[in-house]
Structure formats: structure tokens, C-alpha cells
């Protein structure tokens, strides 16, 4: 009987140790994620890159809807900014993410001449690299609109492209906080080891 109790205790301690490490990991990476939201954009950069997210048919996903809303609010606050709407067309998408954002921004009252479309990208890296091509050669400062959980990695990607950036965080829908938060933490770790 004693060997069984000893084995159970040992597995219990190992399990508790693993859970503790996962909690520490979750919160440690969370500090990096939160760091991505600073500094907040204040209108000093003339170009804003809005990163795409899924479209269902022609309807923006909730994540994309929140990004469009954040960009439109910023556009009304700083009417001199130009937006680069970045996102290609994925599976199940009848239109590009860039086109879905254009429609949403126009519906929110943002003038068409302030909207540039980048409609070929399929990843965060491509969003930023392809959007950079639309910037004037002399411009290397942008504001980035994306979900709050995604800002850290997006801004790190921008930094690798020699783009200085500040942040315009879009809220994450409550239903996606855990799922997207976990996925982003894994993406940060994968990016770190590349």
C-alpha cells in the first residue's frame, strides 16, 4: 500500500508543479502582451495600419468589427490620419479583409480618400510588410490598430521592419479572451524561438 500512496503523492506534486508553472507562464507572457499597448497613439503619426481578421462571407468577425470601430473612433479624433487597411482573402471569405474594413470605415463616416487598401496579406508579418510598401519612402512611423492581445507581437513585427509604432488597441470580445489570449501567448513563444 505504501508504494501506491507514495506514487500518488509524487504524481500530485508533479501535477501541482506543472500547474504552477503554467500559471506563471500565462501571467509572465501576459506582461509582454500588456506592454504592447504602450505608448498609446496620440495623432503624431500620419499613417495608421489596421490589421485584418476573419470575415464570414462579407460580414466582419466580431474581432474585426472591434478593430474597425477602434480605427473609426481614432479617425474621427484625428481627421488628418490616413489608414492602411491590411488583410487578404481567406477561406470562407467572399471579400478581402481590407474591403470589409473599407466598408466599415466608410459606414462610420471616414472619407474614402483617407483609406488605402492592402489586400494580399495572409499573416501579421505580411500585413505589416505589404502595408509598409504603401508608405512614402521617407515614412517609418505608424500607429497600429489591432486587438489588445495582438499588439505586442504586431509591434515587434513592425520593429523588425524598421517601423516605429504606437498603439491603438481594439477591445477583445469577452467570449474570445481565453481562446485568443492563449493562442497569442503560444504565437509569441513560437516567434521567440524562430
Q: Residue 36: pLDDT above 70?
A: no
126: domain CATH number is: 3.40.50.620
pLDDT bin (cut points 50, 70, 90) of residue 173 is: confident
Residue 98 lies in a domain: yes
Q: What is the pLDDT of residues 47-61, one digit of tens each?
A: 999 999 999 999 999
Q: Residues 123-133, buried b or exposed e (16+ Cβ, 10 A)?
A: ebebbbbbbbe
Alpha helices in 133-175 (DSSP H): 151-160
Residue 138 lies in a domain: yes
The least confident of 2-16, 80-94, 117-131, 153-167 is: 2-16
**Rounded CA separation 47/140 (Å):** 9
**In sequence order, what are the residues at sequence separation of 6 or more whose Cβ sits closer than 8 angstroms to the Cβ of residue 19?**
none
pLDDT bin (cut points 50, 70, 90) of residue 42 is: very high
Compute φ and ψ for 165, nearest 5 degrees: -140, 155
**What length does the chain have?**
194
Residue 1 lies in a domain: no
Q: Which residue bears the cell 497613439?
A: 41
Q: What is the pLDDT of residues 121-132, one digit of tens each?
A: 999 999 999 999
Residue 9 lies in a domain: no
The count of C-alpha atoms lying within 13 angstroms of the C-alpha of 111, restricted to the half-sphere facing its C-beta, is 8
CA dihedral 62, 184, 146, 33 (to 10 degrees): 130
Of the candidates 139, 185, 146, the one whose C-alpha atom is nearest the C-alpha of residue 169 is 146
**Rounded CA separation 166/145 (Å):** 9
> Which pTM was predicted?
0.84
Joined together, the cell numbers standing for residue 148 give 489588445
H or E, element range at 132: helix 124-132
- Count CB atoms within 10 A of the CB of residue 186: 11
Which domain range does residue 43 map to?
36-192
Residue 46 lies in a domain: yes
Joined together, the cell numbers standing for residue 32 give 509582454
Sheet strands (E) in 39-150: 47-51, 55-56, 59-60, 82-86, 115-118, 141-147
Joined together, the cell numbers standing for residue 55 give 470575415
Classify 42 as helix, strand or coil: coil
Joined together, the cell numbers standing for residue 109 give 463616416
Domain count along the chain: 1
Amino acid at each position: 500500500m505504501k508504494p501506491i500512496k507514495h506514487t500518488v503523492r509524487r504524481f500530485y506534486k508533479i501535477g501541482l508543479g506543472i500547474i504552477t508553472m503554467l500559471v506563471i507562464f500565462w501571467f509572465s507572457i501576459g506582461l509582454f502582451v500588456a506592454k504592447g499597448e504602450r505608448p498609446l497613439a496620440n495623432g503624431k503619426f500620419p499613417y495608421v495600419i489596421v490589421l485584418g481578421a476573419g470575415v464570414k462571407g462579407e460580414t466582419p468577425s466580431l474581432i474585426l468589427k472591434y478593430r474597425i470601430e477602434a480605427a473609426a473612433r481614432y479617425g474621427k479624433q484625428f481627421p488628418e490620419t490616413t489608414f492602411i487597411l491590411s488583410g487578404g482573402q481567406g477561406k470562407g471569405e467572399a471579400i478581402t479583409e481590407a474591403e470589409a474594413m473599407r466598408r466599415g470605415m466608410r459606414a462610420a463616416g471616414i472619407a474614402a480618400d483617407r483609406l488605402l487598401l492592402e489586400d494580399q496579406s495572409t499573416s501579421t508579418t505580411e500585413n505589416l510588410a505589404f502595408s509598409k510598401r504603401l508608405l512614402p519612402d521617407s515614412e517609418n512611423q505608424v500607429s497600429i490598430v489591432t486587438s489588445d492581445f495582438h499588439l505586442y507581437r504586431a509591434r515587434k513585427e513592425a520593429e523588425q521592419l524598421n517601423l516605429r509604432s504606437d498603439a491603438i488597441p481594439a477591445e477583445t470580445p469577452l467570449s474570445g479572451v481565453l481562446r485568443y489570449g492563449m493562442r497569442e501567448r503560444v504565437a509569441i513563444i513560437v516567434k521567440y524561438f524562430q
